[in-house]
Structure 1
C-alpha cells in the first residue's frame, strides 16, 4: 500500500479528518481522535500505524512485517505498525485500519457519534 492508497482508504471512512503532523506523517482522525498514521517508517519506506484490540495486538506484535508501534506501544497502548509494504497484505491492512477506526469511534461520546452521523452499536 502506498501513502496515496492509504489516504484514499482512510478518506473513504465516514466523518474522518486528515492532518500532516509529527514529522510529516499522514494522520487520520475520527471525532478528533487518531485512528491511523502513515509515516514513521525506517529508511523512507512506507509504514502504517493503527490501534488494535488486545487480541489482535498480541497476534500481530510478533508477526512478520508488524511490530508494536513506536512511541505509542511503549506507553502501554495497543498500537501496531505495519512496515512490510507488501501489496498482498493490503486487504489485511485495510481490515486493521477499519477496526482501528471502529475502536476509536466507539470511544467517542454518544453525542459526538451522533453529531458525526456514526450510528454504531455499543
Structure 2
C-alpha cells in the first residue's frame, strides 16, 4: 500500500466513517461532514493533512515535509513521496486529521454520518 497512489489513498480514506471524496484544487480531496481532512495532489502525488501545533513543528523539520500552501496557518503539512515518514506514520497522521475534523462537527452531523469518536 502507498497512500501516495490514488487507489490506495481512496481505499484508506473510504474506510473512515462518513468520508466523501471529491476532485477539487487539482487534487483528490477527502472530506468528512463537508470539511477537508486530507488530500492527494494530482501529478505530483503529494499528501496534505491537518496536524496539531506540536506535530506541525516536528513534522516540518523532517525531510520531505513542509507547510502546506494556503493551509499552513491552520497547521496543515504537505508530504512528498521521498519523506522520512513511513506508511504507518502517514496512516496515523491522516487518521488523527480525520478525528480532529470529525470532532469539530456538531453532534447532530456526527450522528447523521454515524461517527463515533
Fold match by TM threshold 0.5: yes
The answer as to 2:83 corresponding to 1:83 is: no
Task: Give the C-alpha shift of residue 84 in structure 1.
Answer: 2.6
Cα displacement string for residues 69-109 of structure 1 (whole angstroms, at most 9, x for unaligned residues): 11111xx11001111356x7111111111000000000101
Unaligned runs of 5+ in 2: none
1:27 and 1:48 map into 2 onto residues whose CA distance is 10
1:7-86 residue pairs with structure 2 within 5 A? 7-23=10-26, 25-39=27-41, 44-73=43-72, 76-85=73-82
Return closer, same or farther for 1:30/1:10 CA change in 2, 3 Å cut-off.
same
Q: Distance in 2 between matches of 1:82 and 1:4?
A: 17
> What RMSD over aligned residues (CA atoms) do the two structures have, in Å?
1.7
Q: What is the alpha-carbon distance in structure 2 between the residues aligned to residue 50 and residue 91 of structure 1?
A: 15
Query: Which consecutive aligned stretches of 4+ in structure 1 deviate over 4 angstroms post-superposition?
Result: none
Q: How far apart are 1:16 and its partner, in Å?
A: 0.3
Matched with 1:98 is 95
TM-score (normalizing by structure 2)? 0.90
Q: CA deviation at 1:63?
A: 0.8
TM-score (norm 1): 0.86
1:112 maps to what in 2?
Answer: 109
Which runs of 5 or more residues in structure 1 are unaligned? none
CA distance in 2, matches of 1:38, 1:52: 16
